[in-house]
Homo-oligomer: A and B are copies of this chain.
């Protein structure tokens, strides 16, 4: 294993010798052109979901293994759908519940899935760096997609977020984007910040109580606000983060109700943002905690569109790492 890592810099682990996407592990360190290519490919997949036959044959005969070490219905379901709409065969493995019970190491479990000639692993894990670790270990013919690892990154979520922003705002180079809430524990926020910076968003703000804003965050090029009203003032995009239940029960925070009073997005507060600001949220929503119901369901909310675009973005990434994003690929299957 050690020998496989030699000469392999963490920064380009996800790119092959020609700079093409081999794994999709993190937004950090990716070139802007690649992010733009993902967005452009996702645009080509977006119409597939509206067709009578929501299926393209790009990953036909490929085996995608969903390796979920922590539960996530939503993320697993959208990856599952993306793979099926690409015509792949999907294995849904709940790793915690299975082989680890028999005392098999993670490394042996991976070697076995490799030996079963899987083509792609979608990995969700509670530990930061798990997807990178797996990408380093596995055979060269397998691609790894990070479906969220600890507090590190959740790159497909960030890509669907910037896809949504581009749909509504067209360009990134004059935007103010505010990310509100539990930034400290959020892999979504980390990936978003990287993606927004790489795509050239000039003003990225993080907004939240001191306990939930990491000390070093300004080094990522963001402005920190502890007051919500100041933080969203004039923003073109307001991204509300999910407040984890376990955080609400900890010493870091008062109750959900008190949190809402300080940091919940309400109609009155949203008026401080730009007139045509859009409101985003990775879901699932805690209504009345981080966002008021009327805003979540309101005209400025694009929260459900994020879900829809998430499938197109995942189809784009999955086909790119498999090297099957070639022109014509997204055309309807001919029976």
Spell out A's residues near B (CB within 8 Å).
49-55, 57, 60-63, 71, 73-74, 77-78, 80-81, 84-85, 89, 91, 93, 98-99, 101-105, 108, 111-112, 114-117, 245, 283-287, 304-305, 307-308, 311, 333-335
State A213–B308 Cα separation when bound (angstroms). 48
B49 and A117 contact, CB distance less than 8 A: yes
Residues of B within 8 A of A84 (CB): 63, 89
Most buried by B among A117, A283, A307, A311: A117
A116 and B62 contact, CB distance less than 8 A: no
A305 and B52 contact, CB distance less than 8 A: no
**Known A-B contacts A73-B99, A80-B91, A98-B71; A115 and B304 likewise in contact (beta carbons under 8 Å):** yes
A284 and B77 contact, CB distance less than 8 A: no
Residues of B within 8 A of A287 (CB): 105, 108
A285 and B89 contact, CB distance less than 8 A: no
Task: Select which of B55, B91, B285 is within 8 A of A77 by beta carbon.
Answer: B91
State A73–B57 Cα separation when bound (angstroms). 28
A73 and B91 contact, CB distance less than 8 A: no
Task: Select which of B62, B73, B305 is within 8 A of A93 by beta carbon.
Answer: B73
A116 and B77 contact, CB distance less than 8 A: yes
A103 and B305 contact, CB distance less than 8 A: no
A112 and B307 contact, CB distance less than 8 A: yes
Separation in Å of the A143 CB from the closest CB of chain B?
14
State A304–B98 Cα separation when bound (angstroms). 19
Residues of B within 8 A of A285 (CB): 104, 108
State A22–B249 Cα separation when bound (angstroms). 45
Residues of B within 8 A of A61 (CB): 51-55, 85, 333
State A65–B50 Cα separation when bound (angstroms). 17
A55 and B49 contact, CB distance less than 8 A: no
State A249–B57 Cα separation when bound (angstroms). 51
Separation in Å of the A224 CB from the closest CB of chain B?
28
Residues of B within 8 A of A334 (CB): 335
B73 and A116 contact, CB distance less than 8 A: no
Residues of B within 8 A of A93 (CB): 73, 77
B117 and A50 contact, CB distance less than 8 A: yes
A98 and B73 contact, CB distance less than 8 A: yes
Task: Select which of B51, B73, B308 is within 8 A of A115 by beta carbon.
Answer: B308
7 smallest CB-CB distances across A and B, nearest first, come from A53-B61, A115-B307, A73-B98, A104-B284, A55-B61, A115-B304, A49-B117
